[in-house]
């Protein structure tokens, strides 16, 4: 089972490298109006519909500021795909079709952004509480086993601590290197088949996450099935409840993968993604604020570099190109949460990358574990204010997105200062002795013995 956990953590380290930004993905058709265009063979009718197979082609119609003015006087209009299909049907039934164009106003704030904000906040809440609850149960169980002479208890009865993966400062720094290499690989190899490979990887992670969440939830009602195990080659000891839930999770992921291009497929993608993020927050632990500070600082630099600075090296934003899937012929990679823009006349999706939720969520989950084990109240602890800071940071991200006319914004540019600044401000007196301290600085606190058990 340890091998499976290790593979799962490596997979997660790869997918969270896509610290994406909230944006929109739209597609449509191009209409050429020949009234003001030169007459050329094949363009004798009033207008020509040019289907666009890839959204990336839409951006080629707009000249960059540094491009030479070619003085092209052919008006071009983008239409939704359904409008293009309607016009084609009209042209088949009539020799004369009149078209009136208008420019609808886009809403300042779409309800999709509100729901996406709630999804991100609730996901961190669920993952943090599950992580803190598991840590407290593991600490209690560990102390109980020590009191009852742990040598007399079989090893397979010692549970809780073995499933946790602690990251250190070195791992946090290496994250930037691994994530950058993975992002460049996606950028260079992005194609239809590569997106299909990412879909398979996403389904594997989603199945593992959904299975873990369902087993943890159902084990409250089916304790016997959750505590009865059977050994399976490669996977190790699995509970009967896990075996019962796994087929459903696999079927759910397969159905989503097959029908992922339908209009409502975003629901399945979000369910798999949220389950994966919550599971990672429960399995992967930040042991102290020092590691959390290094992790968020590295992610902060990484996000800004690949959204803004990469334009100087690759002549386009690598992060934005990968997130949109411009070179794949599809609507982008699956490692993100998305909701359709409900009141936007141009349609599209509001999206947020896994990294924008998971990376800040790791230190936030640590703060709740610390508050519980240190017997801090909600208002006197760190978790409540860290959650408020994260929510404000994400809210400012959407404000900046709207002020920048929809241009991609690195969410961690706003989230990290809010979240990390809150930790450092509230813990200015306690940070050195507790968050950054060693065991000998914590031994005067009774509850810190449990904290050290979880952290080490």
Tokens at 253, concatenated: 């992921």
Closest CA to 319 of 341, 304, 330, 329: 304
* Torsional sign, CA 235, 205, 410, 288: negative
199 CB contacts (<8 Å, ≥6 apart)?
A: 257, 260, 334
Query: In the numeric block, which tokens belong to residue 24?
Result: 């929109």
Q: Which two tokens stand for residue 100?
A: 């009136």
Burial grade of 360 (CB within 10 A; 0-12, 13-18, 19 or more): buried
Residues with active-site annotation: 303, 356
Q: How far is CA 222 from CA 209, 273, 370, 376, 456, in A?
A: 19, 25, 30, 32, 32
How far, in Å, are 137, 215, 254, 270, 311 from residue 209 at the CA level? 21, 10, 15, 12, 35
Task: State the DSSP code for 77.
Answer: E
What is the Cα–Cα distance from 293 to 63, expressed in whole angstroms? 42
């Amino acid at each position: 089972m340890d091998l499976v956990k290790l593979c799962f953590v490596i997979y997660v380290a790869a997918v969270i490298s896509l610290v994406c930004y909230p944006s929109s993905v739209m597609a449509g058709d191009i209409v050429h109006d020949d009234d003001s265009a030169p007459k050329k063979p094949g363009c004798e009718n009033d207008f020509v519909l040019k289907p666009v197979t890839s959204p990336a082609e839409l951006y080629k119609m707009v000249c960059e500021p540094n491009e030479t003015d070619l003085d092209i006087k052919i008006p071009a209009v983008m239409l939704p795909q359904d409008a293009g299909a309607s016009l084609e049907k009209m042209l088949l039934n009539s020799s004369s079709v009149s078209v009136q164009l208008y420019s609808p106003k886009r809403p300042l704030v779409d309800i999709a952004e509100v729901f996406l904000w709630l999804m991100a906040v609730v996901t961190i809440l669920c993952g943090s509480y599950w992580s803190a609850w598991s840590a407290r149960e593991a600490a209690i169980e560990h102390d109980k086993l020590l009191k009852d002479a742990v040598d007399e208890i079989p090893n397979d009865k010692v549970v809780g601590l073995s499933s946790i993966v602690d990251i250190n400062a070195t791992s946090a720094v290496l994250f930037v290197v691994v994530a950058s290499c993975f992002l460049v690989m996606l950028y260079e190899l992005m194609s239809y088949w590569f997106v299909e490979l990412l879909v398979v990887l996403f389904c594997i992670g989603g199945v593992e996450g959904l299975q873990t969440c369902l087993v943890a939830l159902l084990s409250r009602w089916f304790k016997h099935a959750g505590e009865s195990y059977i050994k399976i080659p490669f996977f190790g000891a699995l509970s009967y409840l896990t075996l019962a839930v796994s087929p459903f999770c696999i079927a759910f992921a397969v159905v989503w993968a097959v029908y992922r291009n339908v209009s409502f497929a975003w629901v399945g993608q979000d369910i798999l993604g949220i389950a994966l993020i919550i599971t990672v927050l429960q399995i992967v632990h930040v042991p102290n604020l020092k590691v959390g500070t290094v992790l968020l600082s590295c992610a902060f630099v990484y996000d800004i570099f690949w959204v803004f600075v990469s334009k100087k090296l690759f002549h386009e934003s690598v992060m934005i190109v990968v997130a949109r899937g411009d070179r794949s012929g599809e609507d982008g990679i699956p490692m993100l949460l998305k909701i359709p823009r409900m009141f936007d006349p141009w349609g599209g999706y509001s999206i947020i990358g896994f990294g924008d939720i998971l990376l800040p969520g790791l230190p936030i989950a640590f703060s709740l574990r610390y508050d519980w084990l240190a017997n801090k109240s909600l208002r006197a602890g760190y978790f409540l204010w860290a959650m408020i800071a994260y929510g404000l940071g994400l809210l400012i991200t959407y404000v900046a997105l709207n002020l920048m006319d929809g241009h991609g914004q690195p969410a961690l540019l706003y989230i990290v200062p809010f979240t990390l600044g809150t930790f450092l401000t509230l813990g200015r007196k306690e940070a050195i002795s507790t968050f950054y301290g060693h065991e000998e600085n914590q031994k005067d606190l009774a509850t810190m013995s449990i904290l050290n058990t979880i952290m080490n």
